[in-house]
Amino acid sequence: MITTAYTLTVRYVETDAQGIVHHSNHLVWFEEGRSDLLRQQGMNYTDFEKAGFFVVVVEANLKYKAPAYYEDEVRIETTLEKAKGKVLEFSYRALNAAGVLLAEGRTVHVVIGTDRRPTPLPEEILARLTGRGAGEGG
């Protein structure tokens, strides 16, 4: 599938009293990685919402490997692992400037319509999201 990279600089507000990035921020960074992946594919969440589709997180997994600190540069690698019907699955890796793995994770999303019920994304959106032509299968 598709992998993109997004680089951020750790902000002071993201650190705890020990000067280490608070664990809750990794999921925020992963969300930024997802949004950036969509932008790199020429889309964004607003496009989905305008078309009547909302992407909700139904599962999130995260493993911490090493700490990050204030002003560290962190590279978020986001991979679209699955895009089929009403399910999207992403994996993530957060690495510091030296290439040390800080955290890795995975999120699973279900697409819902304006009626708040699960609904598949149209094939043309899936094709655009995955970078393949419509009708190539997935």
Condensed to tens digits (0 to 9), the pLDDT of residues 19-76 reads 999 999 999 999 999 999 999 998 988 988 999 999 999 999 999 999 999 999 999 9
Q: SS3 for 74?
A: strand
Q: Is 115 a catalytic residue?
A: no
Contacts of 67 (CB under 8 A, 6+ apart): 20, 21, 102
Q: What is the reported pTM? A: 0.91
Q: Rounded to whole angstroms, how far apart are CA atoms 54 and 41?
A: 18
% of residues, the chain, pLDDT over 90: 81
Return the pLDDT at 133: 57
Chain mean pLDDT for the chain: 93
**Is residue 92 within 8 Å of 86, Cβ to Cβ?**
no
Q: Rounded to whole angstroms, how far apart are CA atoms 47 and 44?
A: 5
CATH for the stretch 2-130: 3.10.129.10
Confidence of residue 136 (pLDDT cuts 50, 70, 90): very low
Return the pLDDT at 129: 87
Return the pLDDT at 97: 97
Q: Is 70 exceeded by the pLDDT of residue 137?
A: no
Going from N- to C-terminal start, the domains of the chain cover 2-130
Of 16, 36, 72, 115, the active-site residue reads 16
Confidence of residue 13 (pLDDT cuts 50, 70, 90): very high
